[in-house]
Amino acid sequence: MLFVEHARRVADGAKAAAVALGRLMPNVGGPSQSKRQLLMSVVHSRLMYGAQTWAESIGEVEKPNNLLLQAQRCAAIKVARCYRTVSDMVAILLARMPPAPLLAIERARSAELRKSSTPHTKAKLMRELIRQ
């Protein structure tokens, strides 16, 4: 399977999960922010499937980046309680989540550090990700 096709399938599955779970959460009132963060974690787990293998090549092709960001946007709008007209980067920023391509790179680094038995903390990796 080509990488673009993989990104399309993963993004479609993540969008479907975000829409299905998002219907349970009205924008006004509704569940607390921690329950909305659970929605984002479901979407991230679907988006980051196999991220260790494709994270390094994600910067080379624009289309998979856009597909991943669009899928992440669906959940970010629900988490941040935004209008649907908000752009993808603004919705992701308001939801306090790193963009999917950067998150994939962070997960790949974490896997590499685990394999090499190098001590690391999730907070340290997240600070480095935010700096990027």
The per-residue pLDDT string of the chain (132 residues; one tens digit each, 9 = 90 and over) reads 577 788 888 889 888 888 887 777 666 666 666 777 787 888 888 888 877 777 777 767 788 888 888 888 888 888 888 888 888 888 888 888 888 888 888 888 888 887 887 777 777 777 777 777
The pLDDT of residue 28 is 60
Q: Rounded distance, CA 25 to CA 131, Å?
A: 32
The length of the chain in residues reads: 132
The pLDDT of residue 103 is 83
Alpha helix positions (H), 1-132: 3-22, 33-47, 51-54, 62-80, 88-94, 100-115, 122-131
CB 40: neighbour CB atoms within 10 A?
21
Q: Of 73, 103, 68, give the one whose Cα is nearest residue 88.
A: 73
Which domain, by its residues, includes 112?
3-131
The answer for 118, left when phi > 0, alpha when psi is -120 to 50, beta otherwise, is: beta
Q: Which two tokens stand for residue 115?
A: 């394999």
Global pTM reads 0.73
The pLDDT of residue 83 is 84
How many distinct structural domains can be found in the chain?
1
The pLDDT of residue 52 is 78
